[in-house]
Structure 1
Amino acid sequence: MPVRSTGFVAKCWAALLSGGLLAMLSPSTAVALPEYSTAEAGNPFVDGWYADPDIAIYDGKYWVFPTASKPYAEQTHLDAFSSTDLIHWTKHSNVLTTADITWAKYAVWAPAPVERDGKYYLYFAANDIQNNSQLGGIGVAVADRPEGPYKDALGKPLISQFHNGAQPIDQDVFIDDDGQAYMYYGGWHHNNVVKLNPDMTSLGTFDDGSTYKEITPENYVEGSYMFKRNGKYYLMWSEGGWTGPDYSVSYAMSDSPTGPFQKIDKVLAQDPAVAKGSGHKTYGGTWSVAGGRYRVGRDLGAKSLLDTNFADFTYDADVTVNSGAGDAGLTFRVTKPSVGPDSYSGYYAGISPSGKVVLGRANGSWTELGTARTSVAPGSTHRMRVTAVGSSIKVFVDDMKTPKISVSDGTYASGANGLRVFNTAASFDNVAIGSAQ
């Protein structure tokens, strides 16, 4: 979302509150800490594009396991970072890769680390399945050391189907004081809890014989995280539209690890000094999130932009043009945006329901730079990619090796990336921005 920012703000935040980092601070040291405004946080603490972090403490060392924010099809590995002082970090590359997971091909997301009986387990989601006929879901890998290498523990997903409407993503593992392990997971506005058996690679059952217990709290979207403090169970999650300013983290409390969970309040909301929502701002149109996709109604130029300033990059997205005679696609190197069809300075590459691929630039008016044709079925989804390196701009559709359009234009050197429609309605998924290939 970075590339994939669709969840797990809750994960890192809750891990801090549960005692991971706060345990370092006594009341006396806490009041002595210097005051900083939110715009001076000094982040990120490591180089590179990452999202969905989870943390663990193993033998006095702090570990961060994030998602690699690369183009969708290139999210094929996980890195980790370790530190003894939370200041100096060591990168551990490729602690888990799809080369070691026969069923995982891409979209390796949201790692959840946990240690038990001297073994280190790493739970992850892969393949971003959209229905029960697709292969993927939540897997588990195991290693003898925190830095891996982690190997597939099952040869198949641990959870491979939708249960209670929950997409099998965004898992968190929690071991209670009595030794019982639980997994909390789910996207698409549904949250489940399951029991993990002592082997940590199989699912147990509840007293009523069920395996999947839905515990969805009010306004849940995704990214659940569980911790226990002073005998109370705290469930945190991300809510609101992850593309807008209402994206936030809320929490609920319970006397039981399986609920019921009653929402208490928000603990994290937008701070404009840091970001607008998860970095998006819209200009015209009606934007929403449904079924795991970012959607916009028919409009003559609606834009949704990331707060980025890229020069050279590779930019991917799945684009579905639903209706209208126009087109939908990717904007890039955008500055001075406002509401209106061509009310920005920058470039746009789009695809129409008739199969026309177009590339052009805008600056209050439209200048076409190139067109091409491709095969489009009504309502079908197509993978679009734009690579921009200096004045070289290439547009790909479905075939990621041969560009549909290739031009040289150096009018705009850098700016924001985003999505746009022109005289059509559309939906977008698997948006990814990374370094130029």
Structure 2
Amino acid sequence: MHILHSITQHLFLAVLLHIHTTFSFPVQELETLQPNLQLNYTTAEAGNPFIGGWYADPDTAIYDDLYWIYPTSSLPYEQQTFLDAFSSADLITWTKHPNILTIDNVKWAKKAVWAPAPAFVNGKYYLYFGANDIQEGEPEKGLIGGIGVAVSDHPYGPYIDAIGKPLIGEYHNKAQPIDQDVFIDDDGQAYIYYGGHEHANVAKLNPDMISLGTFSDNTTFKEITPDKYVEGSQMIKRNGKYYFMWSEGGWTGPDYAVAYAIADSPLGPFNTRGRILQQDSAIAKGSGHNGVIRVPGTEIYYITYHRRPLTETDRNHRVLCYDRMYFNPDGTIANVNMLVKDNFADGDFVGWKTDGGEWKVVDKRLQVDAKLGSAAFAVQDTNFTDVAFEATVQLSAGNNETESAGLVFKVKDATKGVAGFSGYYVGLAPSGIVKLETFEAGVRTNYTSVSARIETTVDIRVCIQAIGENIRVFVGDSDQPKISVEGASLVNGTTGVATFGAGAQFGNVSLSKP
């Protein structure tokens, strides 16, 4: 990680105190992290993507007791002329800081402003970035591009070009000058790791952070390319070991993935240990180009990355996500499980698609107002075969006794809306019924139903286990299923919530593979 990720806890607190007392931050932009707050999540509990909009390549920092994300704006190259940043005190609610760097402040940058990497040294904030997508041989033709460095007095910018030209503007060891990460070791030495086109380099940064130093053999660049490296360098240090991470595969394809190596030195050698994050056909594809967050003073780590929603086809449709990253007892990194949760604690429901009714988040619940006799649903972009699906359902007071609200799963043709989808529905009716229904092109058929005590205006836990051709439905805190059927025909599909009638609220959505 960057400087605050690699120093001791005592020094960490001292640096934060220095930052807090040296700089004045606008109250309306920044909040203070509560002391000793333990952000012990299994994933982005308020939903992945955790930020709205198309972004990629998220790197991280901790400044002034806030967590910061610095991503690429995922647009066509000619429109990638600016960078935004996001800050959070709790990894749930994020504040957007737009246009922290633009090409107006980097005269040589024209397009393809990529993969920002932050660092804080000597009371200044630095942002390293790629620009212009320089190709091999182009500098000899007079074309300018590569890795630049900008500086600011604040983590939210504005960042101004520090040297008026690229810091690294040519190919060295066949490495394209893109996708840099800046790592500051315990002794204060700063390194820049970078490289595309399947080659990776490391170089020393001088104390001024805007020029390159040399190694003991008087070279400036050392090649450190591990097996299957493509791009997206990232370095962290843990328990005296150096973890070099990178992305494999093609960035526009579903096989994009994160791999890593471990070394005893920041210069390697880095021998590939394998992939730890890759596509999951039930959740997302193209998962790569990562950063890492460590909650200070803990062993809680998160991997930040971008991925592609399953049903989206635009190559620029990339979104920001994070999941928990665990270390095995031997120091290796466990495979990262992309989880699906949304407790709506951020006041939003990014990534959901709705049809019918009026949807909004109220008091950490997804609320729908629907007219009596009408139908509405909100679905996620998932494609589970076997699934454990849990959420709370709250029926509004005054619901018509013939209507219901609940969960939909194994949904096909969700794009046809609530009137045309096929799949399963578990509904709670205020008349005291739990029903399992099937839908075929919008035609609703009762599969089975049972009596149950259903209260309105209270959260009722509903858990569905759909494994193979078997479906079990649990209601409330009971460990005995209310409904258990065999012979379910649909194999896979998306998931969501629905109402048939008056309004309802849904909360604490969680999906996993049983």
Do both share a fold (TM > 0.5)? yes
Cα deviation 1:222-277 (Å, max 9, x = unaligned): 00100111101110001123344432111111111011111122211221122233
| Structure 2 residue matching 1:276: 3-state secondary structure | strand
Please, which of 69, 79, 96 is the counterpart of residue 101 of structure 2?
Answer: 96
Structure 1 residues 160 and 205 mapped into 2: Cα distance closer, same or farther (>3 Å)? same
Give 2:158's match in structure 1, choosing from 139, 149, 154. Answer: 149
In 2, Cα distance between the equivalents of 1:78 and 1:227?
23
Matched residue SS, 2:48: coil
- 2:69 aligned to which of 53, 64, 67: 64
Q: Go from structure 1 to structure 2 and tell me whether the alpha carbon gap of 1:145 and 1:100 turns closer, same or farther (over 3 Å shift).
A: same
Most deviating of 241-250 and 78-87: 241-250
> What per-residue deviation string (whole Å, max 9, x for no partner) do you get for residues 151-194 of structure 1?
00000000000000000000000000001000000000000000
Partner of 1:258 in structure 2? 267
8 A contact 2:46–2:92 mirrored in 1 = no
Q: Specify whether residues 202 and 309 from structure 1 end up closer, same or farther in structure 2 by C-alpha distance, changes over 3 A only.
A: closer
Counterparts in 2 of 1:108 and 1:243: CA distance versus 1, 3 Å = closer
Within 5 A, what are the aligned runs for 1:172-191? 172-191=181-200
Deviation at 1:25, TM superposition (A): 8.2
Distance of aligned partners of 1:176 and 1:203 in 2 relative to their CA distance in 1, 3 Å threshold: same
Within a 5 Å distance, the mapping from 1:195-234 to structure 2 comes to 195-234=204-243
Letter paired with 2:182: V
* 1:125 and 1:137 in contact (8 A); partners too: yes
Q: Which stretch shifts more, 202-211 or 232-241?
A: 232-241
Describe the superposition over 1:344-398 as per-residue Cα deviations: whole angstroms up to 9, x where unpaired. Answer: xxxxxxxxxxxxxxxxxxxxxxxxxxxxxxxxxxxxxxxxxxxxxxxxxxxxxxx
Q: Secondary structure at the match of 1:149?
A: coil
How many angstroms apart in 1 are the aligned matches of 2:254 and 2:311? Answer: 16
> Aligned-pair distance for 1:96?
0.3
Matched, 1:169 2:178: yes
Question: What TM-score, normalized to structure 2?
Answer: 0.48
Shift of 1:309: 4.8
Map 1:310-329 → 2, pairs under 5 A: none
CA contact (8 A) 1:244 1:278 kept: no
Residue 113 (structure 2) pairs with residue 108 (structure 1): yes
Shift of 1:307: 4.2
Matched residue, 1:431? none
Distance 1:243 1:68 in 2: 15
CA contact (8 A) 1:71 1:314 kept: no
**What residue is the counterpart of 1:360 in the other structure?**
none
Distance across 2 between alignment mates of 1:55 and 1:83: 11
Query: Which of 68, 78, 94 is 1:73 aligned to?
Result: 78
Code of the aligned partner of 1:276: K
Distance 2:269 2:89 in 1: 37
Match of 2:400 in 1: none
Amino acid at match of 1:48: G
Residue 240 of structure 1 aligns with which residue?
249
RMSD, aligned α-carbons? 3.2
> Of the two, which has the highest radius of gyration?
2
Aligned partners of 2:75 and 2:316 also within 8 Å: no
Amino acid at match of 1:121: Y
TM superposition score normalised by structure 1: 0.56
One-letter identity of the residue aligned with 1:191: A
- Indicate conservation of the 8 Å contact 1:243/1:278, yes or no: no
> Alpha-carbon deviations, 1:52-89, whole Å to 9, x = none?
11110012111111111122101000011111111111
Aligned to 1:423: none
Instruction: Determine the C-alpha separation between the residues in 2 that align with 1:25 and 1:258.
Output: 35
- 1:42 deviation in Å? 1.3
Work out the percentage of aligned pairs sharing the same amino acid. Answer: 65
Paired residues of 1:76 and 1:97 also in contact (CA < 8 A): yes
Change (3 A) 1:90 1:276: closer
Verify the 8 A CA contact 1:121 1:140 in the aligned structure 2: yes
What residue number does 1:136 align with?
A: 145
Give matches, 1:391-430, under 5 Å.
none
Could you tell me which residue of structure 1 aligns to residue 127 of structure 2? 122
Secondary structure in 2 aligned to 1:219?
A: coil
Please tell me whether the aligned partners of residues 180 and 195 of structure 2 are also in contact (alpha carbons under 8 angstroms): yes
Instruction: Summarize the Cα distance change of 1:164–1:25 in structure 2 as closer, same or farther, 3 Å threshold.
Output: farther
From 257, 264, 276, the equivalent of 1:267 is 276
SS of residue in 2 equivalent to 1:115:
strand
**Correspondence for 2:58:** 53
Instruction: State the distance in 2 between where 1:206 and 1:257 align.
Output: 12
What is the rounded CA distance, in whole Å, between the counterparts of 1:249 and 1:314 in structure 2? Answer: 18
- TM superposition shift of 1:41: 6.6
Q: Which amino acid aligns with 2:74?
A: S
Q: Would you say the 8 A contact 2:278–2:287 is kept in 1?
A: no
SS at match of 2:92: coil
**Aligned in 2, Cα 1:129/1:24: closer, same or farther, shift over 3 Å?**
farther
Number of residue pairs aligned between Structure 1 and Structure 2 = 268
Where does structure 2 lack aligned partners over 5 or more consecutive residues? 13-32, 289-307, 318-514
1:262, 1:314 → 2: CA distance?
31
Report the 3-state secondary structure (helix = DSSP H, G, I; strand = E; otherwise coil) of the residue aligned with 1:82. Answer: strand
